[in-house]
């Protein structure tokens, strides 16, 4: 890869590494596994970066790579890896009861997310990352904004039913 491409990828790496990690974490909910998968996805993205015609589609491309790799990883690790419990917010004022309640609520939330079909799940996770709006999610998934809106609506309805 040429020096220019290297520099361009380096610039994109800095701003997209967190996105890849969070997408992987949204599937795996295990920090170390998510880092491994994100690292693998970013390395793969680097290898294919010179062949990517539309550079502005890089983030969407990276999301798709990471999502698929994370799903594959989860399938292969499902039996032996226990998922990480959601980290609790640090705060001196929080009591043990608050921590337990927060943890239970998070676990229920993740169970509701896991119960969603894949099409709705990815929309929900991307909408929850870095305050992505509908337009950003539609760009990342290469879907019309209307489709994203309807899928997000359906996902929230189902999650609310499960969480009540």
CB neighbourhood size of 63 (10 A): 25
Closer residue to another protein (CB): 47 or 79: 47
28 near another protein, rule: CB under 8 A: no
Q: What is the largest CA-CA distance in the chain?
A: 56
Q: Which string of x and - marks every residue 117-136 that binds another protein (by CB under 8 A)? A: -------xx-xxx-x-----
Give the Cα separation of 120 and 130 in Å (integer).
Answer: 18
Burial class (CB in 10 A: 0-12, 13-18, 19+), 86: middle
Q: Which string of x and - marks every residue 30-69 that binds another protein (by CB under 8 A)? A: -x--xx--xx--xx--xx----------------------
**Which residue's structure tokens are 């290898």?**
47
| Least CB distance to another protein at residue 142 (A) | 21
Q: Which of 106, 134, 149, 154 binds another protein (CB under 8 A)?
A: 106
Nearest to 81 by CA among 11, 128, 29: 29
Give the Cα separation of 135 and 144 in Å (integer).
Answer: 9
145 near another protein, rule: CB under 8 A: no
Q: Which of 90, 93, 97, 164 binds another protein (CB under 8 A)?
A: 164
For residue 96, the SS3 value is helix
Residues that bind another protein (CB under 8 A): 1, 9-10, 13-14, 17-18, 21-22, 25-26, 31, 34-35, 38-39, 42-43, 46-47, 86-87, 89, 105-106, 109-110, 113, 124-125, 127-129, 131, 156, 159-160, 163-164
């Amino acid at each position: 890869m040429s020096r220019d491409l290297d520099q361009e990828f380096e610039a994109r790496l800095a701003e997209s590494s967190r996105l890849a990690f969070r997408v992987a974490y949204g599937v795996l909910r295990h920090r170390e596994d998510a880092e491994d998968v994100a690292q693998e996805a970013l390395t793969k993205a680097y290898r294919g970066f010179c062949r990517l015609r539309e550079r502005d589609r890089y983030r969407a491309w990276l999301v798709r790579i990471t999502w698929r790799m994370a799903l594959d990883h989860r399938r292969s690790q499902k039996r032996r890896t226990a998922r990480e419990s959601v980290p609790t917010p640090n705060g001196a004022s929080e009591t043990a009861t608050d921590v337990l309640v927060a943890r239970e609520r998070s676990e229920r939330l993740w169970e509701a997310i896991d119960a969603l079909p894949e099409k709705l799940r990815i929309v929900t996770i991307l909408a929850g990352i870095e305050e992505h709006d509908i337009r950003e999610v539609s760009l990342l998934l290469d879907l019309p904004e209307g489709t994203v809106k309807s899928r997000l609506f359906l996902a929230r309805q189902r999650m609310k039913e499960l969480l009540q």
